[in-house]
Every structure is written in C-alpha cells, then in structure tokens.
C-alpha cells in the first residue's frame, strides 16, 4: 500500500503539462541557456522566410544554418509545437491552427 500512496503523491506533484517534462532546477537552467543560445538562429530564419514556414520544417532549416542536432527536448519542450508557441513575440509569431511560424510584427 505504501508504494501506491507514494506514486499518487508523485502524480499530484507533477505539473500535468505533457509538453513540459519535469526536470530539476539545474537542468531547467541549462535548457533555458540552450534555448537562448539558439534564438538568434530562430530570428535569422524568420528574417529569411518572411512568408512563414511550417513548424515541422524548423529542425531542417536550423541544420542549414549549421545548428546540428536540434530537438525541442534540448530546451525542455515535448514537441516543436510547444517550443514554437512558447517563444516570446519578439522572436516570431506562431499560428497554432496552421502550425506556421511568421516573423514578429514590427
């Protein structure tokens, strides 16, 4: 009985967001640093693709910019969609319905 009670407590403590896996504070800080390090590449991409591009194309486009092996999990996101919608408005605009990334508004 003790094990099931512990599991229930752990489930209650979880954030409940499937797109954001739980990590300790140190790993969260590393993930944020990685995200901030790749943001200039994000901005370069939206500058090149002023008509927008599908979110699923993001890893391939980053490869073209010599950003190798990028995954949203490196930055603490469960999916490209979660990464795209979490970026601040100064980086890009994300159309959640069409799943298209656009340059930020001026």
Closest Cα to residue 48, out of 92, 98, 99, 1? 92
C-alpha distances (whole Å) from 34 to each of 66, 71, 102 are: 15, 11, 22
What is the spatial distance between Cα 44 and Cα 12, in angstroms, rounded to a whole number? 41
Phi, psi (degrees; rounded to nearest 5) at 57: -85, -10
Position 38 pLDDT exceeds 90: yes
Closest Cα to residue 94, out of 44, 61, 58? 58
Q: Give pTM, 2 decimals.
A: 0.75
- Output the pLDDT for position 20: 56
pLDDT, greater one: 61 or 17: 61
Model pLDDT for residues 39-97, shown as the tens digit of each residue: 999 999 999 999 999 999 999 999 999 999 999 999 999 999 999 999 999 999 999 99
- Output the pLDDT for position 39: 94
């Amino acid at each position: 009985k003790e094990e099931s009670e512990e599991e229930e407590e752990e489930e209650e403590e979880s954030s409940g967001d499937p797109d954001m896996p739980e990590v300790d504070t140190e790993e969260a800080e590393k993930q944020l640093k990685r995200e901030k390090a790749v943001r200039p590449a994000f901005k370069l991409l939206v500058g090149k693709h002023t008509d927008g591009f599908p979110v699923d194309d993001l890893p391939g486009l980053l490869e073209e910019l010599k950003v190798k092996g990028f995954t949203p999990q490196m930055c603490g996101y469960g999916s490209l969609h979660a990464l795209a919608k979490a970026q601040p408005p100064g980086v890009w605009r994300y159309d959640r319905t069409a799943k298209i990334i656009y340059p930020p508004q001026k």
